[in-house]
Chains A and B, each alone.
Chain A
Amino acid sequence: MEERKREVWVFIEQRDGKTAEVSFELLSKGRKLADSLNGVLKSVVIGNNVRGIAEETFKFGADETLLVEDKALEKFRVMPYATVMIKLVKKHQPRIVLFGATIIGRGLAPRVASNTVSGLTADCTDLQISDVTYLKKDFPELLLQIRPAFGGNIIATIITPDNPIQMATVREGVMEMHPLDAPNPIKITEIPYEPEPMDDVLQIIEQHREERKVNLKAAPIIVAGGYGLGSKENFKLIHDLAAAIGGEVAGSRAAVDAGFVEHERQIGQTGVTVRPKLIFEVGISGAIQHRAGMQEANKIIAINIDPEAPIFDIAHYGIIGSAENVIPLFIETLKHKLK
């Protein structure tokens, strides 16, 4: 078998000149993958006047950055960005390419994978390098792309055995960010943008972006409510508890879908991934997609009427009871103690 290139690439996502956090998280993971492959980690930075972003990537372990700058690349547009990525990937044949599972990454990665006939797995929750025997054939050092499937009821390990390039997207917050103690030496390779005829078919004529109002990722204490609360009125208990202990309110996907709480407060695979000091899980059964978003919390207190709820399997403290009983009791007792 032909020796595959030992290059791990991370597509660096930037919005208005600011690097998306997920890109740093991916660099940290990419560094580990490159080390297990005994290979190199490269970042790809595309934009206009983004040399500063290119330089930042060395703080998170990049060995080299491919920098493509052009006025036409100022804002992310999928067609020209795909043109750039496709040309780079075809020329250099990296072994692994990682993208954030953001709206940008989820538009760009499939287009690049399709054109370069690469394997692509969405929303991986873990990535590892391992030798694999598949259909009685040995494949050395494949990327194990691990993700929940079937609505999170199973965990699938996906591999790309036969095609040389393995691509994956990873959601924000899933991988941990590790800045290096001492940044790697800066090595930036500038590459000119060579447009294709279709690149400018779509133009951005308006763009509105608001800073996120709630920052669950930064909250040390979170009170999360689920569908088990039963109604929007009852969900007020979650707000009461959060107010009493100085925490942020969050919800499971089911609670968000039911309209109990707004989407920007959703925890889990299709929401935010959090690592707080303390999280209350109230009326949340604990489906794997939800757990994927909070199981790294330091302390988990589960409050649920169903003793069989899977949330108890990852909880540190468990209270079997209804929110209506437990929360007022908790608030009252706490007030008494803090007096």
Chain B
Amino acid sequence: MYNTIVMVKQVPDTANISGKVMKDDGTVNRSMLPAIFNHEDKEALEMALRVKEKYGGTVSVITMGPPRASDMLRECLYMGADKAYLISDRKFAGSDTLATSYVLSKAVKRVGEFDIVFAGRQAIDGDTAQVGPQTAEKLNLPQATYAEEILELDGDKIKIKCAIDGGYEVLEGKLPLLVTVVKDSNQPRPFSAKRTMRFKNAKTLLDIQKMSDENSLLTLQELVEEYKSKNLYIETITSEDLTNLDAAMLGLHGSPTKVHKVESVVLAGGKYEKIEASKDGIASLIDELLNDHILG
């Protein structure tokens, strides 16, 4: 039996941008960027679900983000996660990777006992690969990054295969530890139809608050209890739910790195020599390349 916690993130789909991402006023046009489940985090969840299937235990998922990240948490439930937590608070806004890791490390402790913490190697919006190792450091856990496969779990022993530059290595060690997972390791499973039917009604505190405003028959507390009893409650964790939180470590204030300047990518443009896509055009290009000794 192994209890695992998977750190997941909802990210803008930076790979599929349909138009101009920056508005003319220099802000990011989020409507151009649909929010998706970060692919490598999905791989991490798949690895955790396989541990559960093989050895038993539970899989909890946590995400730090705005309320709409609950869409992704529901997807985690559709895939097979047992419990989902949304870590959301305005005080966390503007966090760099260090401030994010600080909150995540506190949230992991809040979720409870665990044997392995999983995360994707990196998220496609920042591509930093820093949050996994930084969370491990804050939790005083050893780390295995770029993991491809857990080869064996036996008591508190783990054998894990990880990518290294130019190859791979197998690490052997003791639990607990934090594992970051690389893409294409696991082929994440599709959503289970049965679980989707059931968990599409899973709700966060904010969702339930909206309902209780509309429906005065039940109090907020009663509604929350009802969702909890049906196992359809996505627990929302705010700064108030985390113990020993140092306010100086949160958000923009707790972030050593600051964005000084953001520029839209502007290209000088159009100074190239245009070559006709014809026999003559290409022949003259080849002549030029041969004369300059670039070809031949």
Contact = CB atoms under 8 A, between A and B. Distances in A.
A155 B174 contact: no
Nearest to A165: B256
B98 A120 contact: yes
Contacts of A20: 165
Interface string B124-144: 111111111110111010111
Contacts of B101: 114
B289 interface: yes
Interface in B49-107: 96-98, 101
Nearest to B255: A119
Interface residues of B, number: 80
A310 interface: yes
Nearest to B167: A209
B171 A204 contact: yes
B134 A318 contact: no
A198 interface: yes
Given A154-B263, A203-B172, A317-B285, A120 B257 contact: yes
B17 interface: yes
A231 interface: no
Contacts of A154: 21-22, 28, 262-265
A87 to B, nearest CB: 14
Give chain A's interface secondary structure class: mixed
Give chain B's interface secondary structure class: mixed
Contacts of B261: 156-157
Contacts of B28: 150, 154
Interface string B147-167: 000000000000100011111
B270 A313 contact: yes
A153 B18 CA distance: 12
A183 interface: no
B143 A111 contact: yes
A92 interface: no
B258 interface: yes
Contact of A114 (B22, B98, B283): B98
A335 to B, nearest CB: 10
Instruction: Give the 4 A-B CB pairs with smallest separation, nearest first.
Output: A151-B14, A321-B277, A119-B256, A313-B267
Interface of A: 15, 20, 78-79, 82, 102-104, 106-111, 113-115, 117-123, 132, 134, 144-145, 148-163, 198, 201-212, 221, 245, 257, 269-270, 277-278, 288, 298-299, 301-302, 310, 312-321, 325-326, 329-330, 333-334, 337-338
Interface of B: 12, 14-15, 17, 21-22, 28, 33, 96-98, 101, 124-134, 136-138, 140, 142-146, 159, 163-174, 177, 256-265, 267-270, 272-279, 281-283, 285-287, 289-290, 292, 294-296
Given A157-B259, A318-B275, 4 more contacts: A120-B257, A145-B257, A270-B127, A312-B270
7 contacts: A103-B145, A107-B146, A120-B98, A122-B127, A150-B14, A329-B282, A334-B295
